[in-house]
Amino acid sequence: MMRLFSLMVLGFVCMQPAFAASDAAWTHYGGDAGGMRYSPAEEITPENVDQLIRAWVYRTGELQTRSPKALRQMKWQTTPVLHGDSLYLCTPFNIVIAIDPGTGAERWRFDPKIETDDVNPANRFNCRGVAVWVDPTRGRDAACAVRVFTGTNDARVIALDAGTGSPCADFGRNGEVKIVPSTPLLWQGEYQITSAPTVLSGVVVVGSAIGDNQRVAAPFGTVHAFDARSGVVRWTYDPVPRDANDTRTATWGEGWKDTGHANVWAPMSADEARGLLFMPTSSPSPDFFGGLRPGDNHHANSVVAIKAKTGVVQWAYQIVHHDVWDYDLPAQPTLTTLTLDDGPRDVVIQGTKQGLVFVLDRDTGVPVFPVEERAVPQGGVVGEVLSPTQPFPAHVPALVPDKLAPGDAFGLTPWDRIACGKLIAGARSEGLYTPPSEQGTILFPFTGGGINWGGVAFDPERQMLFANTSRVAHLITLFKAQDFKRLDKQFPNREVSPQKGAPFGMIRDPVLGSLAPLPCNQPPWGVLAAVDLKEGKIVWEATLGTLEEYTLGLLALPWGTPTLGGPVVTKGGVLFIGASMDRYLRAFDVQTGRELWQGRLPATGQATPMTYEWKGQQFVVIAAGGYPDAGVIAPNDTLVAFRLPQPGEAGPSLWSRAIDRPGGRGRAALILISLLAAIGCVWIVLRRRYIRVRRD
């Protein structure tokens, strides 16, 4: 039963709206164009949040229409947006849906009909969100005056009329444009669009998600910008220089000629006043060997600010030099204003897989707080050319530990602790940025974070940052390229990747115990933290998640779980988050970190929730899609909305409040079993007495 836990670790110009909208709307994937994940809604407070009830439930119907194979490959990580009188969202299979914000009733749906069955098992179906744009040149009632943009798993960008769901015929060809990757794909789904598009200055901009570790000459990570009306390409941007005259080529050796990736797979942010887009770029291909691209590889693993109208780079700040750890930038850059001693400062906040938080000036990209170049472990494999230093924030503390020693080993049994200690002792484990090796290297935190695509939330009134992090490790083992076929056949249940074109392939394993396969590092494995950026301190931490799903609900062990999804913070003083590997949407007090409420979900919620006000009431909505990669958590297609009871409406019962808490079903099962056992004992006693009386 616990073995399945290992699978979970491995799996790891917005214009004036056409309709009057509440100030507490949720108009973009990240709440606002800058991705703060903050809502001014304040009806729900720490004092009343435990009274939340289900407002409505919406089912997309995917469970009934997709094959079991396709469902096993889906990840429903969508965050809806509210525009006008509709919520807009997408399913993992790119169906775009409009629903009523107050009732959850479906208004329309559009199916782009992507291929879902004849696909490579490595493929994953995902769509994290859509974007809504108002065309200021068209009348309110004109067709496609308000457009919903979405990207697809088969690399199309589609424009739909927000009122009807019909394709906008003037955009591209019949409402869509097709992106052609730079090289033929190894499998359908090697190149996808999974994050919500960004619309600014009349252009719609999309990045891409590209399959990792298959080859050096992988598809280019080019960002595409299309005219929001016509679909004509306005500009493209490739983080890897493709011109010998580009000054960045000096930081790439000869690798700039054919290296792929450095793509933008996470959401982008937009500054409407400055006309700037902020892009989090990823690592070049392949992830774990960089000897063919010697140098820092400028613009990879960077926050890049680009003029939306022209595609001209204004500045770029590199977070990781010469990445060989898959420490790409996974999260949307967060745009906000800090109140500092010398006055307000517009900044960009970037969370990282390493659990580091960088704060950059929005106009220049210069760090607002000190960042130090510190020496990091050296001694890579033959042919590797490592950077001797890496940037570390010196003011804002790291949100996760970054070194795993044999003495830190955890295990549910003494045998597991001994096995974990030996595993760690047998690998290179010298702290953050220990290079990959043939011996095996511990990556802590693992390649799923620290902070992942859920990003951070920022409360501009309290000036507090909130982030959920995962605390587990990977073991990365390099092998000679010629051994790939043998090892791939030898280890069919492990991740064995060729990194074709490089002298080394790669095996990536979770660092787990053997008898009870839990992470070898000490819990908690999922943590929610509040950070005072100005003071440079962690204000509080709270464990996030339980192992309830892995113990049949009998043990809600409070050790946390790896998390996928992000937090939402409100003016009312409540933070909402799903993300954990149990079936709850949780609420925390933003001041203290105290857990205030848990809302039971039909499946795990590996999505960032959203909140909005509608007709005087505050709603909180999350997609509960399950997490098939974790084995025990079946896929689901349910969108769940919560709200406070209306006047005269009953709140949650004492029974539901008890049963919906973590471990509640396990406790109820034990109570029921105990009652049945007691009844059985009484029946046996009475039966024996009855028989004795009959005999007498």
- Residue 602 neighbours by CB under 8 Å, 6+ apart: 57, 583, 624, 636, 638, 640
**Measured between alpha carbons, how far is residue 159 from residues 138, 149, 174, 225, 654 in Å?**
15, 5, 9, 14, 47
Determine which one of 323, 326, 328, 416 is catalytic: 326
**Measured between alpha carbons, how far is residue 380 from residues 322, 387, 436, 481 in Å?**
12, 10, 7, 16
198: its two tokens: 């960004």
Cβ–Cβ < 8 Å for 623, 78: yes
112: its two tokens: 């782009």
Query: Residue 224's closest CA among 166, 328, 151, 174?
Result: 151
- Residue 358 neighbours by CB under 8 Å, 6+ apart: 303, 317, 319, 349, 350, 352, 367, 371, 391, 393, 396
Q: Is 141 a catalytic residue?
A: no
What's the rounded Cα separation, in Å, for the pair 420 and 429? 13
What's the rounded Cα separation, in Å, for the pair 119 and 269? 32
Count CB neighbours of 479 within 10 A.
17
What's the rounded Cα separation, in Å, for the pair 358 and 281? 15
Cβ–Cβ < 8 Å for 111, 95: yes
- Residue 522 neighbours by CB under 8 Å, 6+ apart: 408, 410
Instruction: Point out which residues pair with 441 in neighbouring strands.
Output: 428, 476
Backbone angles phi, psi at 683, to 5 degrees: -60, -40
Backbone angles phi, psi at 681, to 5 degrees: -65, -45
111: its two tokens: 């199916």
Please list the active-site residues. 326
